[in-house]
Structure 1
């Protein structure tokens, strides 16, 4: 295998024997001078083909330690779960862990609720969520709240279902396009659909719609933070309301204030980076 471009010390862009590009994870593979031939393939722990461009930026934005934790917990999941996982699970989980850690540092009073329903419905996935926060504690010395067990468990639930159930995907894609158009109209801008932050927003929308379909919306009692963001970001609030109303018309379910809060956070992020 030819290693052609360093992403970090443990991640690199490579070419296989057929000349196909891939991203490989392995201790120290990004350290030698590029390009070089890697003959000891036992050093490779994971490979990813045909990655979307926004994942490359994710690799550069998220600390290597968080990717290592994400990779470790996904490998454990592949052993414990009998179903196949979405191959991008390492990236979506790392993105979530980074967001959870940042949110906890910036909004220490933000409270989330551990879901005993999720624990009962998805015991193996809940166990994986518990393992994930224990790894974060052990390796990063950061204690995430128990509520993260629930949200991480749902990542594993969704990672299985995304491969097996695609019946509603065209409708979801259409709904996401309509939500994006609402943002463009609200802020009189044109979103870059190839942008990393836009793709992160789309990922959030997919989980948001899935939670509504499964009647598992966030109800986290974050009213003070919600009111603060509503006051400080009125355009993002109005836009989140418009998106929630569109989704309500389509799915016949009203969004909670906590779901609106997460929408505002993501809308602010993509607008800031779009400008």
Structure 2
């Protein structure tokens, strides 16, 4: 493999036969020039990506340390979850991590409005995010808030092969937040984020939205639904209000049978408040 272009001290573009690849390793470009042979023993990672050009641009404009940190986070995430992430993660997470470090050094902190929902809906990814901010502190001596762990969790989730795209993930998580807010404000109750009933409610709402999007109905028989309306009128009324808000603000129709299940979760919260 010959060097076609030096991106930084630890990353080079190489030609391998008819293919162009990105080789990464400590000091791989030290004292090297274009057309020099790469020491294969120094190569730690070799990228053959559809987005090679974007990765090249990114590596040439960010500190090398940021790329190394991002790759360590990606490796940890893949080992922790036992899955291979979409190759696009090498671009999006590296870009995000580098920008986040830069923001933090400038004293700019972004609040993550979906923090509580992310902690529950994407628990394993959030644990990875917590590991990531500890790792960044160890490597850069920068202490990031847990909000950043949640941002990283979203990137990890959407880069799983079946995680979906970031826009849709954020949209659905935002809708869940609006639904929970409608419930707590309507009933005038306060819920703790570590409460098991609260966690079950959020998880159910998330999957309810997924079922609606994929036209999968969570069917409850009519007799049971009528019984719930009679037995838990306050909780059912609250569920109906949630459905109205979701329809008006997001254009999503929640089937009446789905409201029966939501009613049960709301009733649990009411009993514990």
Length-normalised TM-score, structure 1: 0.58
Tell me how far apart the structure 1 counterparts of residues 100 and 157 of structure 2 sit (CA, whole Å): 18
Tell me how far apart the structure 2 counterparts of residues 216 and 102 of structure 1 sit (CA, whole Å): 30
Question: Structure 1 residues 113, 90: CA separation in 2 closer, same or farther (over 3 Å shift)?
Answer: same
Tell me how far apart the structure 2 counterparts of residues 79 and 3 of structure 1 sit (CA, whole Å): 31
2:109 aligned with 1:90, yes or no? no
Q: Which has the larger radius of gyration?
A: 2
Whether the 8 Å CA contact 1:2–1:37 is kept in 2: the answer is yes
State the Cα distance separating 1:109 from its structure 2 match. Answer: 6.1
Whether the 8 Å CA contact 1:77–1:128 is kept in 2: the answer is yes
State the Cα distance separating 1:88 from its structure 2 match. Answer: 2.3
Partner in structure 2 of residue 211 of structure 1: 170
Question: Structure 1 residues 251, 86: CA separation in 2 closer, same or farther (over 3 Å shift)?
Answer: farther
Tell me how far apart the structure 2 counterparts of residues 109 and 84 of structure 1 sit (CA, whole Å): 30
Q: For 1:15, what is the secondary structure of its paired residue?
A: strand
Tell me how far apart the structure 1 counterparts of residues 127 and 175 of structure 2 sit (CA, whole Å): 19
Q: Which runs of 5+ in 1 are unaligned?
A: 167-205, 220-247, 254-275
Partner in structure 2 of residue 47 of structure 1: 46
Whether the 8 Å CA contact 1:3–1:12 is kept in 2: the answer is yes
Structure 1 segments of 4 or more deviating over 4 A?
216-219, 248-251
Question: Structure 1 residues 250, 82: CA separation in 2 closer, same or farther (over 3 Å shift)?
Answer: farther
- Number of aligned residues: 182
State the Cα distance separating 1:152 from its structure 2 match. Answer: 0.3
Give CA-to-partner distance per residue, 1:244-266, whole Å, 9 cap, x none.
Answer: xxxx999638xxxxxxxxxxxxx
Partner in structure 2 of residue 78 of structure 1: 78
RMSD between aligned residues = 3.0
Partner in structure 1 of residue 66 of structure 2: 66
Whether the 8 Å CA contact 1:213–1:251 is kept in 2: the answer is no
Q: For 2:94, what is the secondary structure of its paired residue?
A: helix
Partner in structure 2 of residue 22 of structure 1: 21
State the Cα distance separating 1:104 from its structure 2 match. Answer: 3.2
Partner in structure 1 of residue 162 of structure 2: 164
